[in-house]
Structure 1
Amino acid sequence: MSDQTREIHMQVMWNRLISVVEEQAMTLLRTAFSTSVREAGDLSAGVFDPAGRMLAQAVTGTPGHVNTMAEAVLHFIAEIGRENMFPGDTYVTNDPWQGTGHLHDITMVSPSFKGDTLVGFFACTAHVVDVGGRGFGADGKSVYEEGIQIPIMKFAERGVVNADLVRILRTNVREANQVVGDFYSLAACNDVGHNRLIAMMEEIGLDTLDDLGDFIFARTRAATLERIAALPRGAWTNVMVTDGYDTPVKLMATLETRGETVNVDFGGTDGISRWGINVPIIYTKAYACYAMKCVVAPDIPNNWASLEPFTVSSPENILNAPRPAPVSLRHVFGHMVPDLVLGALAQALPGKILAEGSGALWNIHMSVRPAAGQDGRRAEILMFNSGGMGARPEQDGLNATAFPSGVMTMPIEATEHTGPVVIWRKELRPDSAGDGQYRGGLGQIIEIAPAEGHEFDFSAMFDRIQNAPRGRDGGQNGAPGMAALDDGTRLKPKGWQHVPAGRKLVLHLPGGGGYGDPALRDPQARANDILKGYLSGDRK
């Protein structure tokens, strides 16, 4: 086989491998019980070589899941041990420090055997609706209050499911059928990946993935190092202030180019919080690497070789919180990390980095029940919502878009089907975008009420209420967010709170910051914004 023919042959197999993990992810989307997975795509899937190095990931999924999973598989291999791995096995954990950052994410890893030979691993992650404890919120004082902890262990051995683990799960969670159903969906996801991989290897005549892995890693690493070499040499620091739980929290990042690596250090960030807003370093690293790759190597496939040159360091602080810190809402500040890192990169690469956006998802977990003296049903409902993205150097920001998490919008019909709530309003928020040569993306206005005869407690997971997304290069800040009842009662940005029967919860999600001097905005673009209702009143 000539070198050119071999190159084409390897590229075709690489593409086939990507299609395998895409089918793996689609299996999870189609079979998941939780709306956060089925409707929003809060998941990840990937294939790894026998050493635990990620070969390929599914496009479907979030950076927080994918990039943490890239490290988590190594923990599974170390904990289970190669001598204890058999065909038909599936391993599981929700350990925040060895998985994806908090207890609500379930990670499953399955070895893939061709005959008696271990040829790789499949891994997947999904957010489940409930893990017991206080529920999905920031009010816990330690991880022990936040729900059931599952150490790395076997969900199934040689195809036989661990019935004792399933019984323990059912006893510890509020939505047992949904949670257990999602466990089986995750296991099925890996099974599909394994079956498709073995079929591919038999068709092509491969006994191992070694040569293909070498081909993938060599090319992605070379391409990534070429991009890093083109960066200016130096170190740049950015500081961001966020709302925190009850007091503001300072986040600080210093980005430094070091030969063939780019490192981000989070020294100077505020210390560990007593509330559940801390972030394990595995999750901080996932989003820091994502931010760097978005700018430095956005078109290079995400795998072990392309991630390795991007490194993270930090003393113990809110972005590197050790066990047993409470970490339930690790996504709030984890989602702020890309804007924090991009603010440092903007100094190294002026004119090329978007403005700050809403960042963290405005998740809301509702625990719905019949009001006093009323009949009805109970339900645990999780809803994802997104504010506006920051404006880009040559384009407006995207409206109500989940950057950096990448999850999809959850249809209100799916949310209402899950339990007795009514979404009375969900629309773009006029005047929420930061002005500039390119305006930021708009936030949303959402009104939610318990169905007749019901009330609910909800866990607020909001930020950017006291500290709006900042504009860049002369662009104005986006509008800050707001949470209140329809009678005007202001609510806290984080923590469990109550919506009584007959009242509505009203959310105003933040808009993205603008980019560039507003005086330079194209008059036709501004007129178009007025025509669409994006601008009104004094903003005209």
Structure 2
Amino acid sequence: MSQDHSKVAYQVMWNRLISVVEEQAQALVRTAFSTSVREAGDLSAGVYDTHGNMLAQAVTGTPGHVNAMADAVAHFIRRIGRQNMFEGDVYITNDPWEGTGHLHDITMVTPSFHNGTLVGFFACTAHIVDIGGRGFGADAQSVYEEGLYIPIMKFADRGEVDETLVRIIRGNVREPDQLIGDIYALATCNEIGHRRLIDMMEEFELDHLDGIAAFILENSRRATIEAIAALPQTSASGEMTMDGFDVPITLKVKVSVENDRIVTDFTGTSGLDKKGINCPLVYTKAYACYALKVAIAPEIPNNAASLAPFEITAPENSIVNALHPAPVALRHIVGHFVPDAVYDAFDKIVPGLVPAEGAGCLCNFQVSLRPRSDAPAPADARRSEVLTFNSGGSGARPEHDGMNATAFPSGVMTMPIEATEHAGPVIIWRKELRPDSGGAGKTRGGLGQYMEVGAQEGHEFDIQAMFDRSQHPARGRRGGSSGAPTTIAQDDGSAMRVKGKQFVPHGRKVVMAFPGGAGYGNPAERPKDLVKRDLARGYISEETARTDYGLSPEDIAAVQSAVARGEQI
């Protein structure tokens, strides 16, 4: 049958593909066992042509997965070989260097056949709570300590699941039912994508995807190159410092706009860390590409062609190009700061476009709960692994305030208290916005949050802290003030580290204050009605309103009176 279609028809197909992969992602959300997927949305989904080029990605998901997964399918094709791919196959890996950056991300790929012919691939990735080893944290000194490694291989061969692989996985992890459930959910979501693709192909009488693939890739490439060509053709350098594990880490970057491409070079960045916060290049590329693309071409859908003009380089065994066997479990801590470093340079090329620095990395922690060891525990005390996803404030934007307790750049959602407490014998005693944590500016930085966590009666726990911004808070841009730093301690005042596994005895709680985003522009230029609104909402204190924004005692008193009367400001 004819495969020629009009541009309008191809545009309709393109939109359909985007809806197909969104349904694929939502199927994963609905069927996954882990709260990291169901509640936080730490996942990705996409459809690819027969060469492994990503054609469309789901809106649901995180850039670190999707953009990294853009390269992963090509690795599957190379490792397995098209001649060894059959209907009913499902492939799997958690290889940090051929997947999405650490062992805790499982990527699954399913070949899609139509009338006996390979027409494309569906791929998805999800963050799983446990993969064995030391557990999810920064304490390992090599990837071998971080958990079970699954090379690129077949999970299902022509519809038959490899039960030996399933038994190996179950025997090496702390939450086997949860992990195997997540793996089947990943396979299911790819199957949903495949079925919807075949429905589309039959509707449009397609034998293959060559025509629509060429249309998507060529139009995306051209639109992205046009956006790059409109920029000043120049270079600029930027850098930022983050806490690191034991010693600070410096990210240095040079961004060069060169006709039809943007080259981002991380030469000068710190070398490998001894602990598991190193970042493979695939993850660095994902967030460097994302940062630039959302700045200059946010309306162009993500696919292989719209990402190709962004070239990322970094010296081998720098902390942003960690080679095997470097420990990489918490690679997101460094990876999530890549956009801030890139924006420090890009703001010098195109002023007034990118935001101030924000919290950067997610404010995650994992608690390993168990019956108390200092005294007899209740009969119903149990072991459990509970991972929570939390966020500080995002940086202020040139025309808008930063978002409160919202993850940028990852886009991962904060988990509800109810879902967290349902996952194990953990209690979230406090979770609220942190006043005065957003940096002052013409536009204000987003607020961080307070959290207080403990265990149910009869339990003790280890907490894996995965924080940063303790010694190096978010920096303001163009006159804006810095955001508030991270703090963590036990409720009796005992100091704690922002990274690493730490014991919390029975009856104790951990009190955390997550960082705020930085401000943008001169605080004196902030409209007074917005200052009054922030004061009324409790985002800022009277002292901040007075000292940082110059609000008069009379205006402060008027706001207090209006709040007391229940009036909106």
TM band (smaller chain): over 0.9
8 Å CA contact 2:407–2:413 kept in 1: the answer is: yes
- Structure 1: gaps spanning 5 or more residues: none
Q: CA deviation at 1:538?
A: 2.2
Distance in 2 between the 1:14 and 1:352 partners? 29
Amino acid at match of 2:173: V
Mapping 1:171-190, distance limit 5 Å: 171-190=171-190
Distance in 2 between the 1:210 and 1:192 partners? 21
Q: Could you say which residue in structure 1 is the equivalent of 2:217?
A: 217
Aligned with 1:79: secondary structure? helix
Deviations 1:320-367 (A, max 9, x none): 010000000000010000111111110101111110000100111110
Give the TM-score normalised by structure 2: 0.94
Q: Could you say which residue in structure 1 is the equivalent of 2:418?
A: 413
Residues 1:253 and 2:258 aligned together: no
Q: CA deviation at 1:54?
A: 0.3
Q: Could you say which residue in structure 2 is the equivalent of 1:44?
A: 44
- Give the % identical residues: 62
Q: CA deviation at 1:7?
A: 1.6
Q: Could you say which residue in structure 2 is the equivalent of 1:145?
A: 145
Distance in 1 between the 2:72 and 2:369 partners? 34
Higher alpha-carbon deviation: 320-329 or 217-226: 217-226
Q: Could you say which residue in structure 2 is the equivalent of 1:447?
A: 452
Q: CA deviation at 1:537?
A: 4.4
Q: Could you say which residue in structure 1 is the equivalent of 2:325?
A: 324
Distance in 2 between the 1:98 and 1:263 partners? 22
Residues 1:505 and 2:510 aligned together: yes
Aligned with 1:126: secondary structure? strand
Alignment: residue pair count: 537
Aligned with 1:332: secondary structure? helix
Aligned with 1:172: secondary structure? coil
Q: CA deviation at 1:26?
A: 0.7
Distance in 1 between the 2:304 and 2:232 partners? 24
Distance in 1 between the 2:196 and 2:529 partners? 52
Q: Could you say which residue in structure 1 is the equivalent of 2:403?
A: 398
Amino acid at match of 2:212: L
Aligned with 1:425: secondary structure? strand
Match of 1:374 among 372, 377, 382: 377
Amino acid at match of 2:355: L
Amino acid at match of 1:324: P
Residues 1:338 and 2:343 aligned together: no
Q: CA deviation at 1:502?
A: 1.0
- Structure 2: gaps spanning 5 or more residues: 546-569
Q: CA deviation at 1:6?
A: 1.0
Q: Could you say which residue in structure 2 is the equivalent of 1:347?
A: 348
Aligned with 1:484: secondary structure? strand
Amino acid at match of 1:510: P
Aligned with 1:78: secondary structure? helix
Q: CA deviation at 1:259?
A: 2.1
Deviations 1:363-402 (A, max 9, x none): 1111001112103011100000000000000111100001
Q: CA deviation at 1:219?
A: 1.0
Distance in 1 between the 2:363 and 2:209 partners? 41
Aligned with 1:76: secondary structure? helix
Give the TM-score normalised by structure 1: 0.99
Amino acid at match of 2:421: E
Q: CA deviation at 1:13?
A: 1.0
Aligned with 1:311: secondary structure? strand
Aligned with 2:171: secondary structure? helix
Deviations 1:65-86 (A, max 9, x none): 0000000111000000011000
Which is greater in Rg?
A: 2
Aligned with 1:357: secondary structure? coil
Distance in 2 between the 1:537 and 1:523 partners? 13
Aligned with 2:540: secondary structure? coil
Deviations 1:38-67 (A, max 9, x none): 011100000000000000000000000000
Deviations 1:207-226 (A, max 9, x none): 00110011111111111011
Distance in 1 between the 2:184 and 2:141 partners? 31
Deviations 1:398-428 (A, max 9, x none): 0000110011121100000000011111000
Match of 1:522 among 513, 524, 527: 527
Match of 2:493 among 485, 488, 493: 488
Amino acid at match of 1:330: R
Distance in 2 between the 1:247 and 1:383 partners? 26
Distance in 2 between the 1:538 and 1:51 partners? 60
8 Å CA contact 2:95–2:152 kept in 1: the answer is: yes
Q: Could you say which residue in structure 2 is the equivalent of 1:237?
A: 237
Aligned with 1:12: secondary structure? helix
Q: CA deviation at 1:490?
A: 1.8
Residues 1:360 and 2:365 aligned together: no
Q: CA deviation at 1:5?
A: 7.8
8 Å CA contact 2:535–2:542 kept in 1: the answer is: no
Query: RMSD of the alignment, in Å?
Result: 0.9
Amino acid at match of 2:450: I
